[in-house]
Structure 1
Amino acid sequence: MSGRGRPREFDRHQALVQAMLLFWDKGYDGTSLNELMTAMKIKSPSLYAAFGSKEDLFLEALELYWSTVGEEIWSELYKHERAQDSIQAVLLATARILTREDRPHGCFVTQTDLKSPLPNLRVGLKVLRCKPFEMLKNRLRLGQASREIGPHVDCDSVAHYYGIVQRGMAMVARDGSPRDTLEKVASHAMGTWDKIVPYPTAY
């Protein structure tokens, strides 16, 4: 008795990694379904069955990026005793990680257009774009709690300053700026620390 063959099995995680790299390199609109199927080595029915729509696949790829590449960068905030050293480590990690030759340059999150007509995509991107500022602000407040940073310092504005520097580094990395150039940017940005986050002389 002959029957229909079983669908070809595939490594879902590895397929998602390939989708992430393609979306990261070409963006949502610039990536076709045919390109996705070729990179992921699956057919259209398997793609839709495993991931849903192209939009769903993109959002899952975005989350994978944040939990892997994003984690590599932003986990530096919690590896150092001082907030100053933590933020410097984030900027240096940005320079190192987003210029690697084995994957697309720049940041997947920041280089994706927020003007997409797809509401779920816009919301997902906005949530991830806001996370770094909140993480920086929370780390600065920990610095206040440990008395590294004075109580008068506006942690929100300082977080936005360094968050914008980090985002700018990610954007020019996409345009081809090399690691050493970005490391110099990080050095210049940290050189302003004592002016915008003066050492607390007294509480």
Structure 2
Amino acid sequence: MKSGKKQGRPRAFDAKAVIGRAREVFWDRGFSAASLDNLSVATKLNRPSLYGAFGDKEDLYLDTLEGYREDSLDILFEALNPALPLRENLACVYAEALKIYLHGETAARGCFLIGTATAEAIQHDRVREVLRRSLNEFDDAIKERVELAIERGELPAETNAATLAKLASAVMHSLAVRARAGDTRETLEAIARSGVDFICGRL
């Protein structure tokens, strides 16, 4: 939450649940197309209550991005369990990503961050900052696991861990975009397998 938001009596609602419902609206409609009426209906809060608790629409959207970033990092760190070989780690990362990307009531929605924040980053500096920070954090998490793989001999000693981590992230971003574009699960899983093979030196 932003420090400048209004303070008052204790809330009679679950802020995390409200942010989660708002995320669904932004994910389906995008930031620009999501109206305050849409958000009010989804969150079951009237406009004054939304503004008083979360600020304006951009503030609320930023809260949904931050929540998604945190949730995604939790999933990523779990998938990158160092007790497993890197190949299994990456396969797990992409499998978990596809669970998210292929979810949607009417159609696959891809990644919330990639699908919505990239469209708003040019016009909204704060959105661009969250997007940049999120991508860097994902890269750093994978880079740390790649460095361990190099130490263990899973990858050649001359491997550039930072570059390989960005490549692994790029596969994930491609899956997100293609899922949103309507590619089948079979196609996406094949891309993921090829990505793992390429990164782990099997192609």
User: Do the two structures share a fold, i.e. TM-score over 0.5?
Assistant: yes
In the alignment, is residue 163 of structure 1 matched against residue 166 of structure 2? no
Which of 118, 134, 137 in structure 1 is aligned with 2:140? 134
1:109-158 CA-partner distances (Å, limit 9, x unpaired): 11122544221121112111222222211110011222322321111221
Shift of 1:73: 4.6
Q: Runs of 5+ in structure 2 lacking a partner?
A: 1-8
Contact 2:101/2:179 (CA < 8 Å) preserved in 1? yes
In the alignment, is residue 64 of structure 1 matched against residue 82 of structure 2? no
Shift of 1:178: 2.7
Q: Runs of 5+ in structure 1 lacking a partner?
A: 1-5, 198-203
2:98 maps to which residue?
Answer: 95
1:184 maps to which residue?
Answer: 190
Q: How many residues align?
A: 192
Contact 1:114/1:125 (CA < 8 Å) preserved in 2? no
1:118 maps to which residue?
Answer: 124
Greater Rg, structure 1 or structure 2? 1
Structure 1 SS opposite 2:80: helix
Q: Following the alignment from structure 1 to structure 2, what is the Cα–Cα distance between the partners of residues 50 and 69? A: 24
Runs of 4+, deviation exceeding 6 Å: none
Q: Following the alignment from structure 2 to structure 1, what is the Cα–Cα distance between the partners of residues 146 and 12? A: 47
Q: Following the alignment from structure 2 to structure 1, what is the Cα–Cα distance between the partners of residues 12 and 100? A: 32
1:3 maps to which residue?
Answer: none
In structure 2, the CA distance between the partners of 1:42 and 1:7, relative to structure 1 (3 Å rule), is: farther
1:24 maps to which residue?
Answer: 27
Q: Following the alignment from structure 1 to structure 2, what is the Cα–Cα distance between the partners of residues 39 and 89? A: 32
Shift of 1:78: 1.9
Aligned amino acid, residue 191 of structure 1: D
Structure 2 SS opposite 1:71: helix
Aligned amino acid, residue 164 of structure 1: A
Q: Identity, % of aligned pairs?
A: 28
Contact 1:19/1:36 (CA < 8 Å) preserved in 2? yes
Aligned amino acid, residue 132 of structure 1: F
2:16 maps to which residue?
Answer: 13
